[in-house]
Structure 1
Amino acid sequence: MDFLRTPDERFANLPDFPFAPHYVELGADLNRLRMHYLDEGPPDGEVVLLLHGEPSWSYLYRKMVPVLVDAGLRAVAIDLVGFGRSDKPTLRESYTYQAHVDWTWAAIQAIGLTDITLVCQDWGGLIGLRLVGEHPDRFARVVAANTVLPTGDQPPGEAFLAWRRFSQESPEFPVGKIINNACVSTVSAEVMAAYDAPFPDDSYKAGARHFPMLVPTSPDDPASAANRSAWESLRSFDRPFLCAFSDSDPITRDAAPMLRELIPGAAGQPVVTIEQAGHFLQEDKGRELAEVVVDFVRTNPR
């Protein structure tokens, strides 16, 4: 598999991002790709795994990591393959839903994460919730934020379809501007440049461009059967499950009630709405979301 590796100098002196890089190399059956992750806080602290979505990277969690660490938690944020400091296959056909699940699960195993509190947003949930369904004993708690696990049995909303059309038809794919446009607050030019940092040019964006096409939108999608199977497990997942959704995300705003209704672990948990936040609530209200996570961990001990 041909892939690109973003030069390290692209990540120098990013605003509010002092974290040391860590890497795992996946096995030969996964093309020996290298995945990057942040690992902050006490090594023996309870693990909070932060999974980003499209088209962001672990920089999205920079406001949350210090709050989690100050609470004595171990914050681990993985860059999905194709994003951040992780390797970026050059061909779109290298990216499949199953491949992303396999890559991320391999990284979790390689890092040695157990008793995980998962915090997942956007594609972080499409991958993360699938993994919870397939490996429930690895996860102690889940915080779902502006995400869902689609099977294609329900039609996607017009907001998602508009986003998918843009992702395929736009001559340019300006990652930083995309993040800004999906926030309520105004993202500074320096921060937008940091979101652009992993992508020196369009050749690095195959995964980012292709992600919207991997969301199951019909019952016969290649990922539908596996996601339905994961849902069978999630319908009996009784460990603490919290929905923390923003008040201004047109893409996922209908997902929280469905998750709360179908997943037993959500019963009795509070309804958390992050005010004045868009799709990327970590960017708009990262500290507030982190405080929700800390409280959730403390009030739901293992």
Structure 2
Amino acid sequence: MRQFQNDGLTFDVRDGGPPDGEPVVLLHGFPQDCSAFDRVAPLLHDAGLRTLAPDQRGYSPGARPRGRSPYRLRAVTGDVLALLDAAGLQSAHVVGHDWGGAVAWALGAWHPERVRTLTALSTPHPAAAGRAVLTSDQGLRSSYMAAFQVPVVPERLMLARDGAALRGLLQNGGLPEETAARYVDRLRKPGALSAALAWYRAIPLAARDSVGRVSVPTLHVWSTGDAFLGPAATAMTRRHVTGPYRLEVLDGVPHWIPELAAERTAELVVEHVRTAVGAPG
């Protein structure tokens, strides 16, 4: 597969590894694209797993609807269901980082029959994140999300001087300069950054898309060097999982787990997949 369609939109996707391998969907976050998993995917292929890594809504050039409503969690979750359908898969293992992690949590809660295992990289359960904003320093860590709600201005500021401000934000958060530059160059395309920020601008609509408890086997990977997502929400996430749950903490790794801890990420995903394969349910 190179592309699939949903909701009148066309998505780019990288389909790699053995076609008959256990399927693993890899979901990137902001401001990444599917290349966030470029170091992880080959290691999963070597372990006999097939990977499907889409450029999500707003990141695929053919999937950039205007406004914020098309980026509600229900909508972006529907894109992954469409990917599974296009691939002829009843279910798959789902790995998500950052916003991709939020999509993974929603899939596990709303469509457990389509999720063989769930792996959330960095991202806590949405309900735990919401609680942590009110009870810990997570509100301060997430303050940039409020700034993103302002129309037009964030795009102008972040893309001024060839995207210097956005590159600085990413590098200050631990992303290597070369990787940050690659993501920024892509977001400098017309409409690309506004589409990516629409995920944040849809947050006020989240009351309609409450994510409940998750019953599928879940691996949560968090890193102590994460400047954006703190320990409070991570600690509370276990309360929102009724199925098998494991928390793995990576010491000193920044937020960008797929890029900066690829080998350990792949090891954990392979172990998680193999543990669940053949398990009842």
Shorter-chain TM band: 0.7 to 0.9
- Alignment size in residue pairs: 262
Q: 1: CA distance between counterparts of 2:27 and 2:47? A: 19
Which structure carries more helix by proportion?
2
Q: Contact 2:132–2:233 (CA<8 Å) still a contact in 1?
A: no
Long gaps (5+) in structure 2? 134-138
Q: In the alignment, is residue 222 of structure 1 matched against residue 210 of structure 2?
A: no
Q: In the alignment, is residue 198 of structure 1 matched against residue 181 of structure 2?
A: no
Q: 2: CA distance between counterparts of 1:262 and 1:95? A: 24
Q: 2: CA distance between counterparts of 1:143 and 1:281? A: 12
Cα distance change of structure 1 residues 86 and 197 upon mapping to structure 2, 3 Å threshold? farther
1:286, distance to aligned residue in structure 2 (A): 1.6
> What is aligned with 1:73?
49
What secondary structure does 2:243 align onto?
helix
Q: In the alignment, is residue 158 of structure 1 matched against residue 140 of structure 2?
A: yes
What secondary structure does 1:295 align onto?
helix
1:252, distance to aligned residue in structure 2 (A): 2.4
Q: In the alignment, is residue 180 of structure 1 matched against residue 171 of structure 2?
A: yes
* Residues 6-40 of structure 1: CA deviation (Å, up to 9, x unaligned): xxxxxxxxxxxxxxx710122xxx1x210111111
What secondary structure does 2:143 align onto?
helix
Q: 2: CA distance between counterparts of 1:112 and 1:198? A: 30
Q: 1: CA distance between counterparts of 2:144 and 2:239? A: 28
Amino acid at match of 1:213: R
> What is aligned with 2:234?
256
> What is aligned with 2:212?
231
1:141, distance to aligned residue in structure 2 (A): 0.9
Q: 2: CA distance between counterparts of 1:163 and 1:172? A: 14
> What is aligned with 1:23?
3
1:108, distance to aligned residue in structure 2 (A): 2.7
Q: In the alignment, is residue 39 of structure 1 matched against residue 25 of structure 2?
A: no
Long gaps (5+) in structure 1? 1-20, 216-220
TM-score (norm 1): 0.77
1:176, distance to aligned residue in structure 2 (A): 4.7
Cα distance change of structure 1 residues 98 and 68 upon mapping to structure 2, 3 Å threshold? same
Cα distance change of structure 1 residues 273 and 69 upon mapping to structure 2, 3 Å threshold? same
Q: Contact 1:59–1:195 (CA<8 Å) still a contact in 2?
A: no
Q: Contact 1:98–1:223 (CA<8 Å) still a contact in 2?
A: no
Q: 2: CA distance between counterparts of 1:226 and 1:94? A: 13
* Residues 227-249 of structure 1: CA deviation (Å, up to 9, x unaligned): 2xx414x2xx0x32111111111
Q: 2: CA distance between counterparts of 1:148 and 1:112? A: 30
Q: Contact 1:47–1:114 (CA<8 Å) still a contact in 2?
A: no
Q: Contact 1:68–1:75 (CA<8 Å) still a contact in 2?
A: yes
Given candidates 244, 250, 263, the residue that maps to 1:287 is 263
Amino acid at match of 2:176: V
Q: Contact 1:83–1:208 (CA<8 Å) still a contact in 2?
A: yes
Q: Contact 1:42–1:73 (CA<8 Å) still a contact in 2?
A: yes
1:272, distance to aligned residue in structure 2 (A): 1.1
Of 252-261 and 65-74, deviating more is: 252-261
Q: 2: CA distance between counterparts of 1:41 and 1:203? A: 32
What secondary structure does 1:112 align onto?
coil
1:198, distance to aligned residue in structure 2 (A): 3.0
Q: Share of identical aligned residues, percent?
A: 26
Q: 2: CA distance between counterparts of 1:34 and 1:178? A: 30
1:85, distance to aligned residue in structure 2 (A): 5.1
Which structure carries more strand by proportion?
2
Q: 2: CA distance between counterparts of 1:87 and 1:153? A: 28
Q: 1: CA distance between counterparts of 2:149 and 2:263? A: 29
Q: Contact 2:141–2:229 (CA<8 Å) still a contact in 1?
A: no
1:146, distance to aligned residue in structure 2 (A): 1.0
Q: What value does the CA root-mean-square deviation take over the aligned residues? A: 2.5
Q: 2: CA distance between counterparts of 1:35 and 1:89? A: 12
Q: In the alignment, is residue 296 of structure 1 matched against residue 276 of structure 2?
A: no
1:94, distance to aligned residue in structure 2 (A): 4.3
TM-score (norm 2): 0.82
> What is aligned with 2:248?
272
What secondary structure does 2:253 align onto?
coil
Q: 2: CA distance between counterparts of 1:114 and 1:93? A: 27
Q: In the alignment, is residue 120 of structure 1 matched against residue 96 of structure 2?
A: yes
